[in-house]
């Protein structure tokens, strides 16, 4: 098909579509041919197609949809004594490719919709899990407590430092017994804790006025300082 014949066929297709009252979008949905190729067919832009066989295949589908006969082709067939030949393999292949391409668009769109829905559900599930598992975090990170200190038992040695702390207000506290960390975290109001050591107990806190101390059964006072670190030894 020459460019002139292609342009003539395109004009006939456009007139038929307008007479039918159908938009390019609707025609593309019904024929499953991309809108840009329908516009190229109607405007006679043969160069917009990857190869002439694609234009021929789409032209056949669009003509059948609009009920437009291929007048130039019929005239060509009537003029010659040769019997009508089947369409070339390239044309049949293009026609089949066009139909397959159009048929594949709808499943692709469905798959994209399904993927988007799954992604939205996944994000919602993650947000829901995060909201349900959120917990209050202390101002300072708690340090791991050695397994030996998790369940204090009676000391196997005579304790020289027996420290009891009574908490009047909630406060963050870190405790080292003989140089080893045994506790770190916030202690609520009204609690009482006890630690025993051979040599000393070190307390780290920003508010030493939040609790009272008893050292070996007697009241013990500490003076607040800038280092927020307090060394307690036996008297």
What was the pLDDT predicted at 6? 83
Residue 201 main-chain phi, psi, to 5 deg: -125, 130
- Work out the number of other CB atoms within 10 angstroms of the CB of residue 9: 23
Quick one: what percent of the chain has pLDDT higher than 70? 63
Q: What is the DSSP string of 95-140?
A: HHHHHHHHHHHHHHHHHHHHHHHHHHHHHHHHHHHHHHH-----SS
Domain boundaries along the sequence of the chain: 3-129, 147-233
53 confidence band (pLDDT: 50, 70, 90): confident
Chain centroid, CA 82 distance in Å: 64
Per the model's pLDDT, the better-predicted residue between 71 and 196 turns out to be: 196
Number of H helices, E strands in the chain: 7, 8
DSSP character at residue 210: G
Residue 224: both structure tokens together: 């607040």
8 confidence band (pLDDT: 50, 70, 90): confident
Is the pTM value of this prediction over 0.75? no
Q: Which fold has domain 3-129?
A: 434 Repressor (Amino-terminal Domain) (1.10.260)
Q: Which alpha helices (DSSP H) does the chain contain, by range?
A: 3-20, 24-31, 35-43, 52-66, 71-79, 89-133, 147-150
- Work out the number of other CB atoms within 10 angstroms of the CB of residue 213: 18
Q: Which alpha helices (DSSP H) does 134-228 contain, by range?
A: 147-150
Per the model's pLDDT, the better-predicted residue between 158 and 172 turns out to be: 172
Instruction: Name every residue whose Cβ is closer than 8 Å to that of residue 34 and which is 6 or more positions away in sequence.
Output: 28
> What's the whole-number mean pLDDT along residues 3-30?
90
**Is a pLDDT exceeding 60 seen at residue 132?**
no
3-state secondary structure of 208: helix
192 confidence band (pLDDT: 50, 70, 90): confident
Give the chain's end-to-end CA distance (angstroms, integer). Answer: 111
């Amino acid at each position: 098909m020459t460019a002139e014949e292609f342009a003539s066929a395109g004009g006939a297709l456009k007139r038929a579509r307008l007479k039918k009252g159908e938009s390019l979008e609707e025609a593309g949905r019904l024929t499953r041919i991309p809108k840009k190729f329908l516009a190229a067919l109607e405007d006679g832009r043969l160069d917009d197609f990857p190869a002439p066989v694609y234009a021929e295949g789409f032209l056949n589908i669009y003509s059948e949809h609009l009920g437009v006969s291929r007048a130039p082709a019929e005239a060509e067939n009537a003029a010659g004594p040769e019997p009508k030949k089947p369409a070339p393999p390239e044309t049949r292949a293009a026609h089949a490719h066009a139909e397959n391409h159009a048929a594949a668009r709808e499943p692709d769109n469905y798959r994209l919709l399904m993927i988007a829905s799954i992604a939205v559900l996944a994000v919602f599930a993650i947000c829901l899990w995060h909201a349900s598992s959120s917990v209050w975090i202390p101002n300072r990170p708690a340090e791991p407590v050695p397994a030996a200190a998790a369940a204090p038992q009676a000391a196997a040695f005579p304790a020289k430092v027996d420290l009891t702390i009574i908490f009047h207000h909630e406060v963050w506290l870190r405790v080292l017994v003989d140089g080893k960390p045994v506790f770190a975290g916030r202690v609520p109001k009204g609690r009482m804790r006890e630690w025993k050591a051979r040599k000393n107990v070190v307390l780290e806190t920003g508010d030493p006025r939040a609790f009272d101390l008893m050292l070996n059964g007697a009241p013990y006072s500490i003076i607040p300082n800038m280092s927020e670190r307090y060394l307690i030894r036996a008297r």
